[in-house]
């Protein structure tokens, strides 16, 4: 198996402080750029992860700086897998209003999950009542990374 086919894992944990989103973005972009991921994919992934981390800080952990947001990035030649976990109370993803519904079109919030679903290949949300929420996303790498 070549080096490009061996999964590479990168981890970052940040406290639930909104200013730390910049640190997450810098970490993600530099990691993906260094691995050779194309800029268009980096941009899509950065937008998606920023939305998820922002939700984890604001909604999941309710801005409690004692609670952490954990980010895991697993990179293979053909796919990127990212997991974002908070330590909040969990939530029901089915209860999120449709941002395209007429009554929600002018709302300034509520589009994060919709945006993430549009940019990523898969989105899985695991809500664990009283134990937080984990969001797992994947993005196919096109072109795949070379060795």
Residue 46 located in a structural domain: yes
User: 107 in a domain, yes or no?
Assistant: yes
Q: What is the pTM of this model?
A: 0.86
- The tally of domains found in the chain comes to 1
For 51, phi and psi rounded to 5 degrees? -60, -45
pLDDT along the chain (147 residues), means of 10: 72 96 97 96 96 92 96 96 93 59 53 83 90 95 85
| pLDDT computed for residue 103 by the predictor | 58
Give the pLDDT confidence score for residue 1 in this predicted structure. Answer: 41
- Answer whether residue 57 is part of any domain: yes
Q: What is the pLDDT of residue 2?
A: 45
Structural domain contains residue 105:
yes
94, part of any domain: yes
Phi, psi of 12 (to 5 degrees): -150, 140
Does residue 26 form part of some domain?
Answer: yes
CATH number at residue 48: 3.30.565.10
Range of the domain at 53: 8-140
What integer pLDDT is reported at residue 93 of this predicted model?
Answer: 62
């Amino acid at each position: 198996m070549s080096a490009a086919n061996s999964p590479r894992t990168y981890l970052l944990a940040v406290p639930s402080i909104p200013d730390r989103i910049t640190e997450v973005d810098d970490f993600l972009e530099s990691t993906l750029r260094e691995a050779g991921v194309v800029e268009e994919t980096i941009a899509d992934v950065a937008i998606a992860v920023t939305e998820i981390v922002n939700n984890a800080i604001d909604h999941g952990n309710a801005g409690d700086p004692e609670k952490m947001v954990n980010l895991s990035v697993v990179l293979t030649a053909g796919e990127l897998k990212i997991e974002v976990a908070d330590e909040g109370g969990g939530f029901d993803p089915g209860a999120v209003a449709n941002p395209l519904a007429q009554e929600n079109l002018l709302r300034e919030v509520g589009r994060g999950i919709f945006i993430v679903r549009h940019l990523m290949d898969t989105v899985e949300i695991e809500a664990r009542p009283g134990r937080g929420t984990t969001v797992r996303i994947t993005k196919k790498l096109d072109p795949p990374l070379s060795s």
